[in-house]
């Protein structure tokens, strides 16, 4: 009878590998979404870049804010170049000026896709695809923290 019970129980491993996590934690996902929402508002000109400071690690905050300012200028230059190119051609509405069926104009920058990866607990990496009137941009982002506090350590608009 002991042999029959042993056949029914799964084999036990004394020291197996740690369990595999099926994706980023809910807290990490929420932290990335919050950071991206504030960043898009900064890029669209609704907030100043200094509003990113509480969402960044203190050591990297100045660098991230400076990079965000540079990204704002690059996006503005691309929009100006598109507007200048549109004036030289025939008179037709530019694609970025087309309103939706409710009469609202699209935001200058919007999130197309967001991908997350948590390579280790307490660190989440994200890639964000942003679209503007002129072109599509990629954002690489890394947040470090714990269950209740997350802060950006790297943010690069490519």
User: How are beta strands 136-145 and 150-157 bridged, if at all?
Assistant: antiparallel
Count how many Cα atoms sit within 13 Å of the Cα of residue 150 in the half-sphere of its side chain.
24
Residue reference for tokens 């947040």: 143
Considering the entire predicted model, what is its pTM? 0.72
Q: What's the DSSP call for residue 23?
A: S
pLDDT of the chain, 158 residues: tens digit per residue = 555 555 555 555 566 665 555 678 888 899 999 999 999 999 888 899 999 999 999 999 999 999 999 988 888 888 777 777 755 555 544 444 445 556 655 557 889 999 999 888 889 999 999 998 778 999 999 999 877 789 999 999 88
- Distance, CA of 37 to CA of 33 (rounded, Å): 6
- Distance, CA of 21 to CA of 3 (rounded, Å): 35
Could you tell me the domains of the chain? 25-86+107-157 (3.10.450)
- Distance, CA of 100 to CA of 107 (rounded, Å): 11
């Amino acid at each position: 009878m002991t042999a029959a019970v042993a056949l029914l129980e799964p084999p036990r491993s004394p020291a197996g590998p740690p369990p595999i996590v099926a994706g980023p934690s809910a807290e990490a996902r929420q932290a990335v979404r919050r950071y991206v929402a504030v960043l898009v508002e900064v890029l669209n000109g609704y907030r100043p870049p200094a509003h990113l400071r509480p969402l960044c690690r203190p050591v990297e905050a100045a660098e991230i804010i400076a990079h965000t300012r540079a990204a704002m200028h690059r996006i503005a230059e691309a929009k100006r170049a598109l507007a200048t190119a549109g004036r030289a051609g025939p008179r037709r509405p530019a694609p970025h000026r087309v309103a939706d069926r409710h009469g609202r104009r699209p935001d200058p920058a919007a999130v197309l896709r967001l991908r997350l990866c948590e390579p280790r607990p307490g660190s989440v990496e994200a890639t964000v695809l942003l679209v503007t009137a002129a072109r599509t941009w990629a954002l690489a982002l890394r947040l470090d923290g714990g269950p209740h506090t997350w802060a950006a350590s790297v943010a690069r608009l490519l």
